[in-house]
Amino acid sequence: MRASLDRLYDAAGWLAALCMVGTLVFVLLGIFGRLFDFHVRGTDAYAGYCMAACGFLALAYTLRRNEHIRVTLLLGHVPAAARRALEVWCHVIAVALAAILAFYSVRLVWQSRAFNDISTANDATPLWIPQLAMAAGTVILLIAVVDAFVAVLRDGVKAAPGDEPARIE
């Protein structure tokens, strides 16, 4: 199970990287179109869709790779029992927020499809298509947060926040 979850998070990270390349391609296509006097419809909208997809798909990957900013000032100054209670409480809140975000993201895709909602940009793309990446990213984030919550319940807090090696970021 651990290997398949890690593959899911890595796949989301690679898709986010691919979307970042897509953003660059669409931005450069728009720039070169203005420079060389040709027009490709919707390049600005597609760049925005790719950028949003990149952001949502990268959420779970960065959470699992500990590349996110984590506030540990309070956790470093409380006793171990209180630290565990705070970790569990924080993870319960994170699961609830991730579940709400995933639910409404999936619901937004469903409603956009049901109402035939299209982009107001000059590309007239059905909005449910770019919203799929957002919904997929939030569902994968929910899986990652539940995975972290189960790890905290099962293993507890592995090390005090002050035990982490210093990093320069």
Name the β-bridge partners of 126: 118
Residue 95: name the closest of 62, 72, 63 by CA.
Answer: 63
At 42 the three-state DSSP class reads coil
pTM of the model: 0.83
Phi, psi for 118 (deg, rounded to 5): -125, 160
**Residue 86 amino acid letter:** L
* Residue found under tokens 């006097």: 37
How many DSSP H helices and E strands does the chain contain? 4, 0
Per-residue pLDDT tens listing for the chain (169 residues): 889 999 999 999 999 999 999 999 999 999 999 999 998 888 888 999 999 999 999 999 988 876 555 556 777 778 888 888 888 898 999 999 999 999 999 999 999 999 999 988 878 889 999 999 999 999 999 999 999 999 989 987 554 444 455 555 5
